[in-house]
Structure 1
Amino acid sequence: MHLTVEQALAVYPLSEGELIAGDSGKQRIVKSINVMDAPDIADWIKEGEMLFTTAYLIKDDLEEASELIRKLHYRGASGLGIKLGRFWESIPERLTSLADELGFPLIALPFQFTFSDQMNGLFHAEMKRSTDQLEGALQKQIRLMRFALRAESISSLFESVTDAIGCPIAVVGAKGQVVFSSPGIPADWLTDQWPWPPLKTRLKHLGRQAFRIPLMNRDACTGFAFFFDSLPFLSPVEEGLYTQAAEIISHHLNYSYEDYFELSVQKDFGSLIKKFLKNGVTAEAVLEYAERWEMEWLETGYYCALVDLPPAAAVLRTERLDDLKASMLSNARMQALKGIHVVMDEGVLCVVPIATAGTEGELLREALESCLAGLGLDERRAPKAAICARKKQLKEMADAFAECRNTFRLAREWGVEERIVRYDTLDLAMIFEPVSREKMRIYCQRWLGGLLSKDPGYALEMLKTLETYLDCDGQLNDTAKKLFIHRNTATYRIEKLSELLDVDFKKVNVLVRLKIAFLFRSLLAAETGEGERGA
């Protein structure tokens, strides 16, 4: 039997009883049931046993009853059920206080049912649970085997395993980089206390629990798979299922992906693009190679992203850029983009087709976020990325590369702290660079003065709302999501801002002018700290 006390109390006829004390211990595991028929029963109790009694042997001595509860607690018993109505009408307060202090479940059993009724109910419930568990495991195993026997594309490996297992998963590579994680699982949770020994481990930390399994390639550990569940314990059947899933993941990572990473097309084409950007080969030569390998997207649309290391990581720069490229190639979301990755002097250049990057480059941004967050580096050492405007032809790639470099420069000069910055958001900065700082201050006061004169705390919150609203192109739903507030709250704030600033947000020219005001504030903040972002 493997039920929690809470689950057991939901089983008829024990459900007719009541948990009187020790509520904090209701997640204890009930492995078996015993009946008290001897004064020294506590000396024979086993871990996980729940004890039933009529209180006959302890009814006249509360000190002995208290000592019984202490012994049961220290021996790991799951709880004590006392049948009321025969020797005790209620459980003494002294015992309930002690049970609450120890977190030891104390249950008032219903008088109308015998102990055998209670035990039969629990055993039948456990049998049904075990049968359902085996049937569920069999179905999951069938899905896993179907997946293992068919050729799967690189991008769908982890999604297929997640669907088959029926729980969130994550994979961490041999260097501690997050290769894949289901939505909502923080990278710092996954890489906590890295490195780890290559052992199967049950983890419980910060409200999450998972089963971690090493991924082995012969005798070498090449990473770890995490399987997240809400089960209070892991049965041998479920552990075997997770182990089988980990072996399938390991096989694909160590063989299918290894072949993918080493494709000569990726290497040769990357080298060709690098030479093209340095004027070493013609556009015709690149297009001829692209056509040979069915990469027509270079003439239908693409995005470029440049990922670079911070100045603090300048030592051994070439080796670090190679490691960065390898981490990007091993990230599942980056793989799904089917792009080309090239190590340049300025960083790692990624060229990704619009078909996979998204019309507005949103999928590329999400993949970069996932990859950079998965590196688990602190802010001082973490790489940053710049994304160019959308391009349609190969001949525009030099412009795209220049846009990425200019985006990094402007981000530094304007004090932009985001990990990923788009050229589209900073191209106005190039136009306004010659504007004097005094004129910028006057402009900011003209458009934001009605808000800046308010209480600093209120002004800070409203400025953040307005800036987010502008970043979302005036879309209230997107603004509310980014600020984690209700749409009605966002609507109220925008209406209030319209009143304070005496502007009409329905007019495009108003949005543009306010956007310029925030650009000026960013530049002033970067130089003097007088107009900090969002403050």
Structure 2
Amino acid sequence: MDEMPFCVHDVLNRPLFQRAIVLAGAQGIYREVRWVHILEIIHAAPYVSKHDLILTTGLWLKRSAKSGLEYMRQIIEHQTAGLCIEFGTTVDEIPDQIIDLCDSYDFPLILFRQPVRFEEITQDIHAHIINQHFGLLKKLEQFSQQQQQLILQSTDIPAILRLLQSYSEHQILYLSRIEANTYFPPLPEEMREAINTFCNQQMKHSDQIQEMELWKMDEHRYVLIQPVVCFGQVFSYVGMLLHQAHPTEYMKLLVDYTSKAVATVLLRTQFLEEKILSNQNELIQDILNRSIDSEEQAQMRMGLPSPNGEKYIFVGGIIEFEHNVIEAGPERMESRNQDVLVLIRSLLKRDRMHHVLMMKNNQIYLLCAKARIGKDSESSLYHKIQGLIDGLNKYINQAWPHFHFHIGFGKSRTMLLDAWMSFKEAFQVIELSQTVPAMKQNHYYASIGVYQLLHAVPYPILSDFVQDQLGDLIAYENKHHLHLIDTLAMYFKCMGSKGETAKRLFIHRQTLYNRLDKISDILGEDYFQPQRRHCLEMAMLGYPLIESYHADQ
């Protein structure tokens, strides 16, 4: 399919233009022609439109060269396609200033040295344009009908893109930020990588493309790109590789129709996923309530292929959002939750992870499964989970810089029925990230160390222990605010090095000596002895947990 619109070059090939010559503006012969207009009056501006080809006998040149220049400037500024002037009827020469003006703007000035019948020219070109448009409309109608049949038959996006390729006869691109880019027909690897690099760079600089754009790859290659938009979000892009910078309306409409068809399929898929999600919500809730009878039944409900005993490993995780209800409002909060949910699904789908999700208030419960193939299966699963966390962090930091959230994942289990413990551990990780500054960037239960033990200690026992070990120091700190607890913690961390402790606390050595003397007065001289030190360190780790418990009461 010719990607060039009907232009001045095509007009010059019509039979009635066999004796015409291009007097000036030869570089502009590929200007598009949409209509032909006969115009003799000097004030041309109100009567011309973009892409009009003007026919004239040059009557406006009879007045003066100045009025002739003004006439030319008007039709050039209105982006007309070109000017055809007839010699012999009114004028016999064209001033050099007009020729130079046309050359400077690459505006085609076409000369008939002998009189011609303008009505024959208009009839010929108008008939050609109308017939061409009618033919394109028939093709568009056929294209649309076949597209609708594909949409009704399946959710096969590649089939829709292959249909676009067959009608346009151009290379088609389907670009996604989540999944791999695809091409119809397939391209050699070297060319595919070059286009991938270019398109990824373009999408990086234009974060949310909402309208059709034309990207220039080099002097001979352009990409006509149209975003696929659902619910106001750009999911992917439909592109067409062109070899010139002015795509026809036909090409634009083909790409536009295709992007809407892909959006329709994505929306239908989304609705199907939402229907499945309601069953997933029930599955996670049943796991949390421990109300499923058998492991095989649980794995079948999760949709795992060949559910069988301990063939899989499972990890539960929770993502919790800190919404500012006053600033965001309930509608925006719900929108953000849905955006994050779609992103999580896309990232998990990219990594081919079996998963189920459940949205509950401001929390997303996530259950991941991976087949146990070898000893590296567990580390591979956590590696993919880390990729999910990195992708989520990147998106939220770019889209909502001041939006806070917490992520926690429990230990892996070989039985789906035991995944409730993984969710319990994930919740403990989130609690720690909210109460203990050192644990803020930790997302895994396996990495919280001694806090696994402290969290398991009943509050009354832990509270009594902290009070016995640090009670006097806490009371003095609350009254005088001398940062004695932080000083003691850093002193232990630096293995008793006073110089290093003062350096890390950004205080003078004498200030540190004064604080340590006061700590000795309160705790006794033996506070650095191994047994006493272990108790104090444990109490300082438990102290934030006690404070958090008090704050929640």
TM-score, with structure 1 as normaliser:
0.48
TM-score, with structure 2 as normaliser:
0.47
Structure having the higher Rg: 2
